[in-house]
Amino acid sequence: MRWIVCFAGVVLAAQLPDAKIKRDPPYQPIPFSHKAHTAVGLKCAECHTMPDPGDFAGYPKTATCMACHITVKAESPHIQKLAGLHKEGKRVQWTPVYRIPDWVSFNHKQHMGVAGVSCADCHGPVATRVELWREKDLSMDACMQCHRQKNAPNGCLVCHEQR
Ligand code: HEC
Ligand code: HEC
Ligand code: HEC
Ligand code: HEC
Ligand code: HEC
């Protein structure tokens, strides 16, 4: 009986949509468009600086935005909100799009400059997106699948520290 229950579970799992991908874009306090800002000629690294040790790509400071928006579209209500936060020394509370649990070891810098690994492999064609959503799967299976393809280490302790 046990294998029948197990089999039914597998079939059911195969039919359920993967909750980890194709989620709707989350609410963002300011409607920032990657498409529009790539068109202006900005590069990913100008806003996502990956400070040492490189675990996080990070979000830009309001000062990075205000370098242009002190004049560009200054009349827009969205830019006025941005300018207001900047003046008060506050950050924009961006809603996270991609998150993995804290207890998983992940480092952005370790994945940079690696042959055949780009931002788009893990985040999709961001430069063409007006809004971002979790369009790429970054589950354990997805991590391990790429590691297998690229001959990167796949032992459990590579991504999970021993406790
Ligand atoms: C002008 C600054 C700027 C540039 C240039 C920029 N970004 Fe962003 N990025 C942001 C801001 C602001 C957010 C937060 C709002 C959002 O999620 O859309 C963000 C969010 C993201 C996120 C989602 C982060 C999360 O919470 O999971 C990814 C992934 C990302 N950017 C990748 C890129 C890539 C790849 C490029 C280059 C093609 C790029 N960005 C260029 C400012 C920038
Ligand atoms: C190998 C997969 C992978 C690659 C390549 C990658 N990212 Fe990420 N990114 C992630 C994961 C996983 C997270 C979630 C991290 C977390 O929750 O700690 C993330 C989160 C982010 C975030 C949210 C803020 C943060 O620092 O956690 C931004 C912004 C981001 N990535 C931008 C980029 C940019 C820009 C590039 C290319 C220069 C890039 N990523 C390349 C996997 C990747
Ligand atoms: C290099 C200059 C530059 C930087 C830096 C920059 N922007 Fe922009 N931004 C522009 C330009 C140019 C437009 C107008 C694009 C268009 O409408 O075609 C724009 C448009 C916008 C708009 C739409 C405004 C409206 O109401 O139409 C928002 C919101 C915005 N930017 C937010 C940001 C945020 C947030 C940052 C920092 C993360 C940022 N920008 C950084 C140049 C810049
Ligand atoms: C698109 C392919 C790709 C994806 C997706 C990917 N990785 Fe990697 N990862 C690599 C490659 C290639 C290396 C080896 C880098 C090198 O040679 O230095 C690596 C290295 C690592 C390392 C360092 C291993 C070591 O000790 O040398 C860790 C930790 C890691 N990845 C965690 C993750 C986690 C966690 C995820 C999922 C959230 C993930 N990776 C997703 C390609 C990927
Ligand atoms: C390349 C990175 C990577 C490797 C290698 C890896 N894991 Fe994971 N693991 C992850 C990530 C990322 C998550 C979190 C997935 C998520 O967000 O749901 C995770 C989650 C888990 C969880 C929690 C599952 C859950 O449903 O919450 C367990 C248990 C686990 N891993 C065990 C293992 C074991 C055992 C191995 C060795 C066979 C292993 N992992 C190898 C990246 C990895």
pLDDT (tens, 9 = 90+) of the chain, 163 residues, equals 343 334 444 444 444 445 455 679 999 999 999 999 999 999 999 999 999 999 999 999 999 999 999 999 999 999 999 999 999 999 999 999 999 999 999 999 999 988 889 999 999 999 999 999 999 999 999 999 999 999 999 999 999 987 6
pTM above 0.85, yes or no: yes
Q: What is the pLDDT of residue 63?
A: 98
Decide: 99 in ligand 2 pocket, CB within 6 A. Answer: yes
Over residues 112-126, the pLDDT tens digits come to 988 889 999 999 999
Report the separation in Å between the CA atom of 35 and the middle of ligand 3, taken as the mean of its atom positions: 10
Q: What is the pLDDT of residue 27?
A: 96
Decide: 119 in ligand 4 pocket, CB within 6 A. Answer: no
Q: What is the pLDDT of residue 69?
A: 98
Q: What is the pLDDT of residue 3?
A: 39
Decide: 19 in ligand 5 pocket, CB within 6 A. Answer: no
Q: What is the pLDDT of residue 115?
A: 82
Report the separation in Å between the CA atom of 50 and the middle of ligand 1, taken as the mean of its atom positions: 12
Q: What is the pLDDT of residue 116?
A: 84
What HEC string does the chain produce? CHHHHHHHHHHHHHHCCCCCCCCCCCCCCCCCCHHHHHHCCCCHHHHCCCCCCCCCCCCCCHHHHHHHHCCCCCCCHHHHHHHHHHHCCCCCCCCCCCCCCCCCCCCCHHHCCCCCCCHHHHHCCHHHCCCCCCCCCCCHHHHHHHHHHCCCCCCHHHHCCCC
